[in-house]
Structure 1
Amino acid sequence: MAGDIGMARKVALLLWGVQSTQLLVEPPWRPVVLWDRVTLTCQGLGTTGATTWYKDGQRWGQEQCDNVSVTGSVTYMCERPDTRCSPPMTILNDWLVLQEPAQALLVGNTVTLHCWRRQNKVLKAVYFYREEMYLRGPQDWTKLSLKLHHSGRYLCGGQVVSQWRESEQVTVTVHSECKDGDRET
């Protein structure tokens, strides 16, 4: 039975071309920040434990491990036999970061965006923006809950130490649910 599954994967590779490896992140937030004590998991076809890791484009000495703990604010990729490298994942260590859940977001879902200051220190006078338009603020809390209807670019700003800082923009992508008539045949 296990041989049948392995053969099915190889046939799938031949039919669809070489599959890309994926990097899964824990905790499941995007963008990924260093102070979250992040663990990356390399997932894809190929032999478990036969993972090659790359840190800023250079081969990294974490061979044979499917999971690694992030050790710096750099870009990580992984590769497994018979697959392409994963898309790069950059770990941020900015002063202020706006995070969204690392999951598919559907129209009508409620999502909570988190505005975090480096190392989760106190952040005051938080403002939220969508498409550069003011949404809400000043707030003494760091969360914004929204019912999703459209994709958009969001950012937050706030008082860090005694300076105003803004996060990089985060693109929140909203997907519509697939209906039977929408599927390709």
Structure 2
Amino acid sequence: MIDFTLVLDRWLHFLAGITWIGLLYYFNLVQTQAVATANNDPQGPGPAAISKYVAPRALFFFRWSALVTWLSGLTYLGTAPQYSIHGAFTLGVGAHNPSLTTIGMGAWLGTIMLFNVWVLIWPNQKKLLGFVEATPEKKKKAARVAFLASRTNTMLSLPMLLFMGGASHGLLF
């Protein structure tokens, strides 16, 4: 018998994950370069066109899709019969279940990425977008921290996706 709540949770996890990772790649591959180009174009609209109108909306969906992805993944780990939250986050140690090791690696990478979004990227982006007052020195530091955390997430996204997909498709580590 099909557990439709499990199916809906998994689809929510996929959709939110696609949104999160898609926006992550947008920020790293498109927006960063577009702002740099806008800064160097004396006749263009400047980076405010992106920073004022696009970035706040994209960051809203970015951070909330990250949280929904993580929470729906946690729900799936807790309700899917082949997994458990404890088993995944202990990498299946003692459980003799290699799929827990694989899904657990993905869960840990996703957790690190969620931390980066909410603790490093978003608080520093608020300074850069003017939502929080910051001196030019603090903005420079905020830009560096947000950049490094975002690039870290981009690098972690590939192994995270490999582990997540591998757990349900038999690629076990």
What TM-score do you get using the length of structure 2 for normalisation? 0.27
More strand by share: 1
The structure whose RCO (Cα within 8 Å, separation 6+) is larger is 2
Structure ID, larger Rg: 1
What TM-score do you get using the length of structure 1 for normalisation? 0.25
